[in-house]
Amino acid sequence: MRLRTHLAAVASVATAVALFSLTGCAPEPAPDPPHETSTFGDHASALDEYIAAQLVYELPEGQEYPAPTFTDMSGTYESGFGTSAAVLVWNCAWGREYLATRGVDALAATHALEQFAAIMDTPTFENSYDPVSAHPLFRNAVEDAQLGDPTGIRQLVDGSCPR
């Protein structure tokens, strides 16, 4: 019986040493990646973004960007807000252009649809549009329009664009 007790004690010590040495040799868990933090600015910085984005995102011929809808001069705006507002105007303008030229001018409609679809290549789309809900809606709407069904584009324009 004494041998059995001694063997059990040795086994317990050996197990404890093995566990201790394994945890002592285990690498430290990697630190959490740094969280991206948003930067914020005032109305003037958002307005500057809105104006700068107009030079990048050209509207259909004869159209102009409206005055921005964000008017709270004392407000705080997240970096990218002004650009996102301009991208929305741009995308809506091309969606309306596609709907207006579809069935009337095939070349103009194709160009408008290409411009509408180009939102999916923008940083605004990548960073501000939900990848689970919005990305598939845009992708499916464009694919359906390329096959002749404008329903998805019409729904996006009617549901997302200012009047």
Q: Which of 81, 60, 59, 55 is nearest to 70 (CA)?
A: 81
- The string of pLDDT tens digits covering residues 28-37 is 444 444 445 6
Q: How far apart are CA 42 and CA 45, in angstroms?
A: 6
CA 49 to chain centre: 18
Q: What percentage of residues in the chain have a pLDDT greater than 70? A: 77
Helix, strand, or coil (residue 162): coil
**87, 54 Cβ separation under 8 angstroms:** no
| Tokens found for residue 149 | 């069904």
Averaged pLDDT, 130-150: 97
- Could you state, in order of their start, the residue ranges of all structural domains in the chain? 40-160
Averaged pLDDT for residues 20-43 = 56
Name the nearest CA neighbour of 58 among 89, 79, 99. 89
CB 88 within 8 A of CB 116: no
Q: Identify the pLDDT of residue 37.
A: 64
CA distance 119 to 125: 6
